[in-house]
C-alpha cells in the first residue's frame, strides 16, 4: 500500500514524484518517452520544457512571482533546478532547457525510492496513483480516461478565446446588453463593443487578414478545419477568427460579430458589427471575447484586438490559442486537494486538470505529490487557502463554472479582493501576494507541514 504510481514524467509528474519520495514512499514514475514520444517533446528527459524557456517574472508583485515563492516554501525540486539553470532574462526566471531537465532527471534518478519506468500506461491503475500525463496524453490512456470521466468531461482541443480584465474595458464606449434583451440579468449578460462606423470595422478586418499567425505543428494542422473545445469533434462553428475573415469582408458581421438585436444605448443606433464579451469567472472580473479563437501571435492579438472599440486599453490575462490539449472538466472530477471525487486512490496534476502554464503545472504536481503521500499515511489532506495562488488555482479548476471552463494560468483576478481598497496597481498586487504568503504559512503551520523558507 506504500507504493505510489505516477503517470507522466513531465513537469507535474516529476515534481509530484519528488514530493512523495522525500516523504518516504516508493514511487514508480512511468514515462513513455523515448519508447513512444509526443508530437511536441524532443528528448527523453524528464521535465522537458516544450516551448518558451521562461517560467515568468520573479517579482512578488507578479502572479508568477507569488507562485514561485509558494513553490519554494514547499521545497519544490523543479524551482530549485530552474534557479540553478537560470539564464539572464531581466526579472524573469528563464532557464537553459537542457540543464534544467537534466538536473531534474539526475535528482530523481538519485532518489533510492524512485523507480523510473520507461513505458506507456494504457489504463488508469486501481492502486494509489497520480495522473500527470499532460496535454498530449497518449491515445490509449485518453480512451481509458474518457471511460472514467464518462466522456463528456474530457476535452481534446483547446480553442481558447482571449480573456481581458473587466476594469480595463472602456464602458463609455462599450455597453451591457443581451441580443434582443433576452438575458438573465435585466441590464443584459454581455459587454458589447460596437463598431459604429463601417470604416472602423473594415479596418479591423483588413488588419486581421494581414496579421502574423503562429505556425502550426503537423499534429495541430487539422484544427484549421474547425474545432470545438470538447469531445474532439470538428465543426465549422468554431473556426479561427482570421480564417472567417478570409471568407469575405462581411463574414464576421454576419457571423460572431452580427449586430442584430444589440442597439447601442450610447448612440441610440444599430452598430455595423459588435464584439460580445462573456463573463468568465464568478467574480465577474474577467471577460472572454466570444468567438475569438485564433492562431494569431500574441503580439498581433494585443495590437489588433485593441482596435476593437472599448478595448483600446484592454489588459489581456490570456491570449487566444488553438492547440491540442487533453484536459478534464475538473469540477465534476476533482476536489481542491487534487484528489478524484470518483476514486479516492487517484490524484491528478498538471495540464490535464485544466491549469495552464509551466508554474501552475509544477505547483499542482507538488500539491498532488504531498496529498498523495498524506493519503497513504492516513493524514488529513491539504486544501490550500484561496488567497494563495496555488489555492486559488485549485479552487478555480474545481468550481463549477456555468460560463465556460477553459485552462487557466496564475493571475491575480483569481484571488479574493483585499479588504481595503489599494488603488496603486503595483502596491495592490504586492499586498495580495503578502496576504497569500501569510495565509499559506499560517495554514501550513496548522497542518504540521514544514516550510523551507
Ligand atoms: C505545443 C505546445 C506548446 C506549449 N507551450 C507552452 C509555453 O510556451 N508555456 C507554457 O507555460 N506552457 C506551454 N505548453 C503547455 C505545456 O505543455 C505545459 O505547460 C507543461 O509541459 C505541462 O506539464 P504537464 O506535466 O501537465 O505535462 P507534460 O510536461 O507534457 O508531461 C506529461 C508527460 O506524460 C508523458 N505521457 C503522456 N501519456 C503517457 C502515458 N500514457 N504513459 C506514460 N507517459 C505518458 C509525456 O511523454 C510527458 O512527458 C505547451 C504545450 C504544447 C502542447
Q: Give per-residue pLDDT as tens, 322-333.
A: 767 788 889 989
The verdict on the CB of residue 336 being under 6 Å from ligand 1 is: no
Q: What is the average pLDDT value for the chain, to the nearest integer?
A: 90
Q: What is the predicted pLDDT for the residue at 184? A: 63
Q: What is the predicted pLDDT for the residue at 232? A: 33
3-state SS record for the chain:
CCEEEEECCCHHHHHHHHHHHCCCCEEEEECCCCCCCCCCCCCCCCCCCCCCCEEEECCCCCHHHHHHHHHHHCCCHHHHHHHHCEECECEEEEECHHHHHHHHHHHHHCCCCEEEECCCCCCCCCCCEEECCCCCCCHHHHHHHHHHCCCCCEEEEEEECCEEEHHHCCCCCCEEECHHHCCCCCCCCEEEEEECCHHHHHHHHHHHHHCCECCCCHHHHHHHHCCCCCCCCCCHHHCCHHHHHHCCCCHHHHCCCCCCCCCECCCCECCCEEEEEEECCCCCCEEEECCCCCCECHHHHHHHHCCCCCCCCCCEEECCEEEEEEEECHHHCECCCCEECCCCCEEECHHHHCECCHHHHHHHHHHHHHHHHHHHCCCCCCCCCCCCHHHHHHHHHHCCCCCCCCCECCCHHHCCCCCCCCCCHHHHHHHHHHHHHHHHHHHHHHCCCCCCC
pTM of the model as a whole = 0.77
The verdict on the CB of residue 132 being under 6 Å from ligand 1 is: yes
Residue 43 has pLDDT above 50, yes or no: yes
User: Ligand 1: which atom is nearest the Cα of residue 40?
Assistant: 1
User: Ligand 1: which atom is nearest the Cα of residue 356?
Assistant: 19
CATH architecture of structural domain 163-322: Beta Barrel (2.40)
The verdict on the CB of residue 94 being under 6 Å from ligand 1 is: no
Q: What is the pLDDT of residues 338-378, one digit of tens each?
A: 999 999 999 999 999 999 999 999 999 999 999 999 999 99
Q: How far is the CA of 38 from the centre of ligand 1 (A)?
A: 9
Residue 284 has pLDDT above 90, yes or no: no
pLDDT band of residue 40 (cuts 50, 70, 90) is confident
The verdict on the CB of residue 361 being under 6 Å from ligand 1 is: yes
CATH of the structural domain 3-153+329-446, one choice from 3.30.540.10, 1.10.10.60, 3.50.50.60, 3.40.50.1820: 3.50.50.60
The percentage of residues in the chain with a pLDDT greater than 70, rounded to a whole number, is 91
Which residue from 31, 33, 47, 50 has its CB within 8 A of the most atoms of ligand 1, so it is best to mutate?
50
User: Ligand 1: which atom is nearest the Cα of residue 140?
Assistant: 41
Q: What is the predicted pLDDT for the residue at 157? A: 64
Q: What is the predicted pLDDT for the residue at 216? A: 61
Q: What is the predicted pLDDT for the residue at 231? A: 33
The verdict on the CB of residue 276 being under 6 Å from ligand 1 is: no
The domain limits of the chain are 3-153+329-446, 163-322
Amino acid at each position: 500500500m506504500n507504493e505510489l504510481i505516477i503517470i507522466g514524467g513531465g513537469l507535474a509528474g516529476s515534481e509530484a514524484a519528488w514530493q512523495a519520495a522525500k516523504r518516504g514512499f516508493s514511487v514508480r514514475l512511468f514515462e513513455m518517452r523515448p519508447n513512444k514520444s509526443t508530437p511536441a517533446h524532443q528528448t527523453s528527459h524528464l521535465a522537458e520544457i516544450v516551448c518558451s524557456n521562461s517560467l515568468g517574472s520573479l517579482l512578488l508583485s507578479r502572479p508568477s512571482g507569488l507562485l514561485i515563492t509558494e513553490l519554494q516554501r514547499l521545497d519544490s525540486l523543479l524551482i530549485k533546478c530552474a534557479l540553478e539553470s537560470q539564464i539572464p532574462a531581466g526579472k524573469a526566471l528563464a532557464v537553459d532547457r537542457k540543464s534544467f531537465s537534466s538536473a531534474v532527471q539526475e535528482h530523481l534518478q538519485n532518489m533510492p525510492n524512485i523507480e523510473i519506468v520507461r513505458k506507456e500506461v494504457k489504463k488508469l491503475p486501481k492502486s494509489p496513483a497520480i495522473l500527470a500525463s499532460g496535454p498530449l496524453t497518449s491515445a490509449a490512456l485518453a480512451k481509458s480516461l474518457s471511460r472514467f470521466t464518462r466522456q463528456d468531461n474530457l476535452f481534446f482541443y483547446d480553442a481558447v478565446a482571449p480573456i481581458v480584465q473587466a476594469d480595463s474595458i472602456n464602458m463609455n464606449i462599450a455597453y451591457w446588453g443581451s441580443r434582443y434583451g433576452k438575458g438573465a440579468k435585466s441590464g443584459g449578460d454581455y459587454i458589447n463593443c460596437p463598431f459604429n462606423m463601417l470604416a472602423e470595422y473594415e479596418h479591423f478586418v483588413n488588419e486581421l487578414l494581414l496579421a502574423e499567425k503562429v505556425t502550426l505543428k503537423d499534429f495541430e494542422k487539422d484544427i484549421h478545419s474547425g474545432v470545438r473545445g470538447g469531445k474532439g469533434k470538428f465543426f465549422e462553428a468554431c473556426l479561427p477568427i482570421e480564417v472567417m475573415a478570409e471568407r469575405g469582408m462581411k463574414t464576421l458581421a454576419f457571423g460572431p460579430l452580427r449586430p442584430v438585436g444589440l442597439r447601442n444605448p450610447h448612440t441610440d443606433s444599430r452598430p455595423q458589427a459588435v464584439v460580445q464579451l462573456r463573463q468568465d469567472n464568478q467574480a465577474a472580473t474577467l471577460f472572454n471575447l466570444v468567438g475569438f479563437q485564433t492562431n494569431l501571435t500574441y503580439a498581433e492579438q494585443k495590437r489588433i484586438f485593441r482596435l476593437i472599440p472599448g478595448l483600446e486599453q484592454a489588459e489581456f490575462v490570456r491570449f487566444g490559442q488553438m492547440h491540442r490539449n487533453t484536459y478534464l472538466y475538473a469540477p465534476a472530477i476533482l476536489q481542491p486537494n487534487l484528489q478524484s471525487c470518483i476514486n479516492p486512490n487517484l490524484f491528478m496534476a498538471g495540464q490535464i486538470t485544466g491549469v495552464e502554464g509551466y508554474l501552475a503545472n509544477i505547483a499542482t504536481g507538488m500539491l498532488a505529490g504531498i496529498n498523495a503521500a498524506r493519503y497513504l499515511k492516513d493524514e488529513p489532506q491539504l486544501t490550500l487557502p484561496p488567497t494563495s495562488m496555488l489555492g486559488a488555482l485549485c479552487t478555480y479548476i474545481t468550481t463549477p463554472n456555468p460560463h465556460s471552463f477553459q485552462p487557466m494560468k496564475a493571475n491575480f483576478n483569481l484571488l479574493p479582493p483585499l479588504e481595503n481598497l489599494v488603488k496603486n496597481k503595483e502596491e495592490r498586487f504586492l499586498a495580495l501576494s503578502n496576504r497569500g504568503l501569510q495565509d499559506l504559512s499560517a495554514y501550513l503551520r496548522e497542518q504540521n507541514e514544514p516550510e523551507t523558507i
